[in-house]
Amino acid sequence: MDASNGSQDTEQTLDSQVKAFFDSAPPLQNRNDIIQKLNHFIQLNSLSSENGIGKRIVCVTSGGTTAPLEQRCVRYVDNFSSGHRGATSTEYFLKAGYAVIFLYRRGSFQPFCRSLPDDPLLECFEATEGLNIQVREAYSKAVKTAIVDHHAAVDSGLLLKLPFSTIFEYLQMLQIISKPMKDIGPRAMFYLAAAVSDFYVPWKDMVEHKIQSGSHILDVKLVPVPKMLSVLRKDWAPLAFCISFKLETDSNILLNKARGALEKYNMHAVVANELSTRKEQVVVVTIDDKITVQRDKSKADDDVENPLIKLLSQRHSAYIEDPKRMR
Protein backbone atom coordinates (compact mmCIF):
# COMPACT_ATOMS: atom_id res chain seq x y z
CA MET A 1 0.00 0.00 0.00
CA ASP A 2 1.50 3.35 -1.00
CA ALA A 3 1.15 6.65 0.83
CA SER A 4 -1.69 8.01 -1.25
CA ASN A 5 -3.73 4.88 -0.67
CA GLY A 6 -3.01 5.14 3.04
CA SER A 7 -4.34 8.69 3.08
CA GLN A 8 -7.41 7.59 1.13
CA ASP A 9 -8.02 4.89 3.72
CA THR A 10 -7.79 7.44 6.52
CA GLU A 11 -10.28 9.66 4.71
CA GLN A 12 -12.65 6.78 4.21
CA THR A 13 -12.34 5.91 7.88
CA LEU A 14 -13.07 9.50 8.89
CA ASP A 15 -16.02 9.68 6.48
CA SER A 16 -17.49 6.52 7.94
CA GLN A 17 -16.89 7.75 11.51
CA VAL A 18 -18.62 11.04 10.69
CA LYS A 19 -21.52 9.20 9.07
CA ALA A 20 -21.79 6.89 12.10
CA PHE A 21 -21.79 9.89 14.46
CA PHE A 22 -24.56 11.78 12.67
CA ASP A 23 -26.61 8.63 11.97
CA SER A 24 -26.43 7.81 15.66
CA ALA A 25 -27.23 11.31 16.93
CA PRO A 26 -30.76 12.07 18.18
CA PRO A 27 -32.26 14.63 15.77
CA LEU A 28 -31.98 18.28 16.76
CA GLN A 29 -35.26 19.48 18.30
CA ASN A 30 -35.52 22.97 16.80
CA ARG A 31 -33.57 22.43 13.60
CA ASN A 32 -35.85 24.43 11.30
CA ASP A 33 -36.03 27.34 13.70
CA ILE A 34 -32.22 27.49 13.89
CA ILE A 35 -31.85 27.35 10.10
CA GLN A 36 -34.34 30.17 9.69
CA LYS A 37 -32.65 32.41 12.26
CA LEU A 38 -29.24 31.73 10.74
CA ASN A 39 -30.26 32.45 7.17
CA HIS A 40 -31.88 35.68 8.25
CA PHE A 41 -28.81 36.70 10.28
CA ILE A 42 -26.30 35.97 7.54
CA GLN A 43 -28.40 37.58 4.85
CA LEU A 44 -28.88 40.72 6.93
CA ASN A 45 -25.17 41.07 7.68
CA SER A 46 -24.04 40.15 4.18
CA LEU A 47 -25.91 43.13 2.78
CA SER A 48 -25.34 45.66 5.50
CA SER A 49 -21.82 46.98 4.91
CA GLU A 50 -21.23 50.45 3.47
CA ASN A 51 -18.98 49.13 0.72
CA GLY A 52 -21.64 46.68 -0.35
CA ILE A 53 -19.55 43.57 0.19
CA GLY A 54 -21.04 42.77 3.57
CA LYS A 55 -19.65 42.34 7.04
CA ARG A 56 -17.23 39.70 8.19
CA ILE A 57 -19.09 37.03 10.16
CA VAL A 58 -17.51 34.91 12.87
CA CYS A 59 -18.96 31.84 14.52
CA VAL A 60 -17.62 31.79 18.10
CA THR A 61 -18.12 28.47 19.89
CA SER A 62 -18.02 28.58 23.66
CA GLY A 63 -18.30 26.40 26.76
CA GLY A 64 -18.01 22.62 27.11
CA THR A 65 -20.09 19.88 25.52
CA THR A 66 -21.60 16.94 27.38
CA ALA A 67 -21.51 13.31 26.31
CA PRO A 68 -24.60 11.51 27.69
CA LEU A 69 -24.13 8.05 29.19
CA GLU A 70 -27.85 7.21 29.11
CA GLN A 71 -30.52 7.96 26.47
CA ARG A 72 -32.93 9.42 29.01
CA CYS A 73 -30.06 11.41 30.26
CA VAL A 74 -29.33 11.36 33.97
CA ARG A 75 -25.56 10.87 33.82
CA TYR A 76 -23.14 12.43 31.39
CA VAL A 77 -19.46 13.21 30.99
CA ASP A 78 -18.89 16.96 30.94
CA ASN A 79 -15.90 19.00 29.81
CA PHE A 80 -15.10 21.90 32.12
CA SER A 81 -15.28 25.29 30.48
CA SER A 82 -16.80 28.43 31.92
CA GLY A 83 -17.13 29.95 28.46
CA HIS A 84 -15.19 33.02 29.59
CA ARG A 85 -12.91 32.95 26.54
CA GLY A 86 -15.75 32.72 24.05
CA ALA A 87 -17.90 35.36 25.76
CA THR A 88 -15.03 37.84 26.08
CA SER A 89 -13.84 37.23 22.52
CA THR A 90 -17.36 37.87 21.25
CA GLU A 91 -17.27 41.36 22.76
CA TYR A 92 -13.97 42.14 21.00
CA PHE A 93 -15.18 40.67 17.69
CA LEU A 94 -18.22 42.96 17.83
CA LYS A 95 -15.89 45.89 18.60
CA ALA A 96 -13.76 44.90 15.59
CA GLY A 97 -16.82 45.15 13.35
CA TYR A 98 -17.78 41.50 13.02
CA ALA A 99 -21.26 40.04 13.19
CA VAL A 100 -21.10 37.14 15.64
CA ILE A 101 -22.88 33.79 15.78
CA PHE A 102 -22.36 32.80 19.43
CA LEU A 103 -22.77 29.01 19.71
CA TYR A 104 -22.64 28.48 23.47
CA ARG A 105 -23.22 25.91 26.17
CA ARG A 106 -26.40 26.58 28.14
CA GLY A 107 -25.48 28.24 31.44
CA SER A 108 -21.98 29.32 30.35
CA PHE A 109 -20.73 32.94 30.39
CA GLN A 110 -22.51 35.40 28.12
CA PRO A 111 -20.99 38.39 26.29
CA PHE A 112 -20.92 41.59 28.37
CA CYS A 113 -21.75 39.60 31.53
CA ARG A 114 -18.36 38.43 32.73
CA SER A 115 -18.01 40.98 35.57
CA LEU A 116 -21.20 39.65 37.10
CA PRO A 117 -21.14 37.25 40.06
CA ASP A 118 -22.76 33.79 40.02
CA ASP A 119 -26.53 34.11 40.42
CA PRO A 120 -26.47 37.73 39.24
CA LEU A 121 -30.16 38.39 39.82
CA LEU A 122 -29.92 37.48 43.51
CA GLU A 123 -26.48 38.97 44.07
CA CYS A 124 -26.83 42.26 42.21
CA PHE A 125 -30.28 43.37 43.37
CA GLU A 126 -31.81 44.14 46.74
CA ALA A 127 -35.25 44.96 48.05
CA THR A 128 -35.92 48.51 49.22
CA GLU A 129 -37.90 49.23 52.36
CA GLY A 130 -41.00 49.74 50.24
CA LEU A 131 -40.38 46.22 48.80
CA ASN A 132 -39.33 47.55 45.46
CA ILE A 133 -36.11 46.28 43.94
CA GLN A 134 -32.93 48.15 43.12
CA VAL A 135 -29.43 47.39 41.86
CA ARG A 136 -26.80 47.14 44.60
CA GLU A 137 -24.38 50.04 44.36
CA ALA A 138 -21.31 47.79 43.87
CA TYR A 139 -22.82 46.15 40.79
CA SER A 140 -24.50 49.10 39.10
CA LYS A 141 -21.89 49.44 36.33
CA ALA A 142 -21.64 45.69 35.64
CA VAL A 143 -25.42 45.29 35.51
CA LYS A 144 -25.87 48.27 33.19
CA THR A 145 -23.13 47.04 30.82
CA ALA A 146 -24.63 43.56 30.77
CA ILE A 147 -28.14 44.66 29.95
CA VAL A 148 -27.52 47.69 27.75
CA ASP A 149 -24.57 46.40 25.68
CA HIS A 150 -25.82 42.84 25.40
CA HIS A 151 -29.30 43.81 24.26
CA ALA A 152 -27.90 46.46 21.89
CA ALA A 153 -25.80 43.81 20.13
CA VAL A 154 -28.71 41.36 19.86
CA ASP A 155 -31.31 43.98 18.92
CA SER A 156 -29.14 45.51 16.21
CA GLY A 157 -28.85 42.10 14.57
CA LEU A 158 -25.08 41.79 15.12
CA LEU A 159 -25.20 38.99 17.70
CA LEU A 160 -27.05 35.71 17.21
CA LYS A 161 -27.02 33.40 20.23
CA LEU A 162 -27.56 29.65 19.81
CA PRO A 163 -27.35 27.35 22.86
CA PHE A 164 -26.31 23.68 23.02
CA SER A 165 -25.66 21.10 25.71
CA THR A 166 -24.64 17.75 24.22
CA ILE A 167 -21.90 16.90 21.73
CA PHE A 168 -24.72 15.71 19.44
CA GLU A 169 -26.39 19.13 19.48
CA TYR A 170 -23.09 20.98 19.13
CA LEU A 171 -21.81 19.17 16.05
CA GLN A 172 -25.18 19.18 14.31
CA MET A 173 -25.47 22.91 14.92
CA LEU A 174 -21.90 23.55 13.72
CA GLN A 175 -22.73 21.71 10.52
CA ILE A 176 -25.92 23.71 10.04
CA ILE A 177 -24.07 26.99 10.63
CA SER A 178 -21.36 26.08 8.14
CA LYS A 179 -23.84 25.89 5.26
CA PRO A 180 -24.74 29.60 4.97
CA MET A 181 -21.19 30.48 6.14
CA LYS A 182 -19.81 28.59 3.13
CA ASP A 183 -21.74 30.96 0.89
CA ILE A 184 -19.87 34.03 2.14
CA GLY A 185 -16.51 32.45 1.36
CA PRO A 186 -13.38 33.88 3.03
CA ARG A 187 -15.38 36.54 4.94
CA ALA A 188 -16.49 33.76 7.29
CA MET A 189 -14.44 32.88 10.34
CA PHE A 190 -14.78 29.98 12.74
CA TYR A 191 -13.31 30.68 16.19
CA LEU A 192 -13.66 27.33 17.88
CA ALA A 193 -13.16 28.06 21.57
CA ALA A 194 -15.64 25.47 22.86
CA ALA A 195 -14.22 22.59 24.88
CA VAL A 196 -15.56 19.78 22.74
CA SER A 197 -15.71 16.23 24.10
CA ASP A 198 -13.03 14.01 22.61
CA PHE A 199 -15.06 10.92 23.47
CA TYR A 200 -18.71 9.94 23.37
CA VAL A 201 -21.01 6.95 23.72
CA PRO A 202 -22.85 6.30 20.43
CA TRP A 203 -26.58 6.81 20.99
CA LYS A 204 -27.45 3.25 19.93
CA ASP A 205 -24.94 1.77 22.42
CA MET A 206 -26.49 3.63 25.34
CA VAL A 207 -28.77 1.99 27.83
CA GLU A 208 -32.25 3.50 27.72
CA HIS A 209 -32.78 3.68 31.47
CA LYS A 210 -30.69 4.95 34.33
CA ILE A 211 -27.57 2.88 34.97
CA GLN A 212 -28.14 0.95 38.19
CA SER A 213 -25.71 1.39 41.04
CA GLY A 214 -24.41 -1.53 43.01
CA SER A 215 -21.27 -2.84 44.57
CA HIS A 216 -19.53 -3.45 41.26
CA ILE A 217 -17.25 -1.12 39.33
CA LEU A 218 -18.79 1.06 36.62
CA ASP A 219 -16.84 0.61 33.42
CA VAL A 220 -17.68 3.29 30.87
CA LYS A 221 -16.28 2.80 27.38
CA LEU A 222 -16.28 5.88 25.19
CA VAL A 223 -15.23 6.04 21.55
CA PRO A 224 -13.41 8.99 19.96
CA VAL A 225 -15.53 11.80 18.51
CA PRO A 226 -14.64 12.02 14.80
CA LYS A 227 -12.34 14.94 14.01
CA MET A 228 -14.92 17.33 12.65
CA LEU A 229 -12.37 20.13 12.29
CA SER A 230 -11.00 18.26 9.28
CA VAL A 231 -14.48 17.91 7.83
CA LEU A 232 -15.30 21.58 8.48
CA ARG A 233 -12.16 22.68 6.62
CA LYS A 234 -12.40 20.18 3.79
CA ASP A 235 -16.12 19.96 3.08
CA TRP A 236 -18.38 22.15 5.18
CA ALA A 237 -16.80 25.59 4.62
CA PRO A 238 -13.47 25.23 2.80
CA LEU A 239 -12.91 28.98 2.35
CA ALA A 240 -13.70 30.05 5.92
CA PHE A 241 -10.81 31.30 8.10
CA CYS A 242 -10.48 28.70 10.84
CA ILE A 243 -9.06 29.15 14.34
CA SER A 244 -9.01 26.32 16.84
CA PHE A 245 -7.81 26.13 20.44
CA LYS A 246 -5.54 23.81 22.31
CA LEU A 247 -5.85 23.76 26.09
CA GLU A 248 -3.46 21.69 28.16
CA THR A 249 -2.61 21.59 31.85
CA ASP A 250 0.93 20.45 31.02
CA SER A 251 2.91 23.30 29.40
CA ASN A 252 5.62 20.88 28.24
CA ILE A 253 3.44 19.33 25.59
CA LEU A 254 1.29 22.36 24.72
CA LEU A 255 3.11 23.92 21.75
CA ASN A 256 3.79 20.59 20.07
CA LYS A 257 0.15 19.68 20.47
CA ALA A 258 -0.92 23.03 18.99
CA ARG A 259 1.46 22.62 16.04
CA GLY A 260 0.17 19.10 15.53
CA ALA A 261 -3.45 20.30 15.48
CA LEU A 262 -2.58 23.09 13.02
CA GLU A 263 -1.21 20.60 10.52
CA LYS A 264 -3.59 17.73 11.16
CA TYR A 265 -6.76 19.80 10.76
CA ASN A 266 -5.33 22.34 8.31
CA MET A 267 -6.29 25.27 10.57
CA HIS A 268 -5.24 28.86 9.77
CA ALA A 269 -4.17 29.35 13.37
CA VAL A 270 -4.26 27.42 16.64
CA VAL A 271 -4.46 29.36 19.91
CA ALA A 272 -2.40 27.49 22.52
CA ASN A 273 -3.35 28.11 26.12
CA GLU A 274 -2.32 26.59 29.40
CA LEU A 275 -5.01 26.16 32.05
CA SER A 276 -3.25 28.16 34.78
CA THR A 277 -2.11 31.17 32.68
CA ARG A 278 -4.84 31.27 30.04
CA LYS A 279 -6.23 34.65 31.13
CA GLU A 280 -2.78 36.29 30.96
CA GLN A 281 -1.30 34.98 27.74
CA VAL A 282 -1.80 32.68 24.80
CA VAL A 283 0.39 31.69 21.87
CA VAL A 284 -1.01 32.00 18.35
CA VAL A 285 0.54 29.22 16.28
CA THR A 286 0.37 29.58 12.48
CA ILE A 287 2.23 27.81 9.71
CA ASP A 288 5.02 30.47 9.76
CA ASP A 289 4.76 31.99 13.23
CA LYS A 290 4.45 31.48 16.94
CA ILE A 291 3.20 34.77 18.37
CA THR A 292 2.87 35.22 22.12
CA VAL A 293 -0.05 37.49 22.95
CA GLN A 294 -0.31 39.01 26.43
CA ARG A 295 -2.85 41.22 28.08
CA ASP A 296 -1.73 44.76 28.91
CA LYS A 297 -0.96 44.42 32.61
CA SER A 298 -0.68 48.19 33.06
CA LYS A 299 -4.48 48.32 32.61
CA ALA A 300 -6.41 46.53 35.34
CA ASP A 301 -9.31 45.65 33.07
CA ASP A 302 -7.48 44.65 29.91
CA ASP A 303 -8.10 41.17 28.56
CA VAL A 304 -5.79 38.90 26.59
CA GLU A 305 -8.68 38.65 24.12
CA ASN A 306 -8.16 42.33 23.23
CA PRO A 307 -4.78 41.90 21.45
CA LEU A 308 -5.76 38.36 20.39
CA ILE A 309 -8.83 39.43 18.41
CA LYS A 310 -6.91 42.43 16.95
CA LEU A 311 -4.24 40.05 15.65
CA LEU A 312 -6.74 37.53 14.28
CA SER A 313 -8.82 40.27 12.68
CA GLN A 314 -5.70 41.57 10.86
CA ARG A 315 -4.80 38.06 9.74
CA HIS A 316 -8.35 37.49 8.58
CA SER A 317 -8.28 40.73 6.52
CA ALA A 318 -5.04 39.63 4.86
CA TYR A 319 -6.61 36.25 4.18
CA ILE A 320 -9.71 37.80 2.59
CA GLU A 321 -7.49 39.78 0.22
CA ASP A 322 -5.52 36.72 -0.77
CA PRO A 323 -6.90 33.41 0.51
CA LYS A 324 -4.20 31.46 -1.31
CA ARG A 325 -1.32 33.19 0.47
CA MET A 326 -2.34 31.70 3.82
CA ARG A 327 -2.93 28.20 2.49
* Chain residues in the site for its own copies (CB under 8 A): 66, 69-70, 72-80, 106-107, 110, 113, 116, 118-122, 124-127, 131, 133, 135, 143-144, 146-148, 150-152, 195, 198-199, 208-211, 213-224, 247-250, 275
Q: In the complex with its own copies, which residue's Cβ is closer, 74 or 287?
A: 74
**Quick one: 29 exposed, middle or buried, by C-beta within 10 A (0-12, 13-18, 19+)?**
exposed
Q: Yes or no: say if 183 and 70 are a contact pair by the CB < 8 Å rule.
A: no
- Continuous segment of H or E residues that includes residue 312: helix 305-321
Amino acid in position 317: S
Q: How far is the CB of 260 from its own copies (least distance, A)?
A: 11
Alpha-carbon distances, residue 44 vs 26, 34, 258 (angstroms): 31, 15, 35
Q: Yes or no: say if 173 and 34 are a contact pair by the CB < 8 Å rule.
A: yes
Q: In the complex with its own copies, which residue's Cβ is closer, 29 or 80?
A: 80
Q: How far is the CB of 267 from its own copies (least distance, A)?
A: 16
Q: In the complex with its own copies, which residue's Cβ is closer, 153 or 240?
A: 153
Q: How far apart are CA 70 and CA 76, in angstroms?
A: 7
Q: In the complex with its own copies, which residue's Cβ is closer, 79 or 313?
A: 79
DSSP of 315-326: HHHHHHH-TTT-
Q: How far is the CB of 138 from its own copies (least distance, A)?
A: 15
Q: In the complex with its own copies, which residue's Cβ is closer, 211 or 318?
A: 211
Q: How far is the CB of 85 from its own copies (least distance, A)?
A: 14
Q: How far is the CB of 127 from its own copies (least distance, A)?
A: 4
Q: How far apart are CA 321 and CA 327, in angstroms?
A: 13
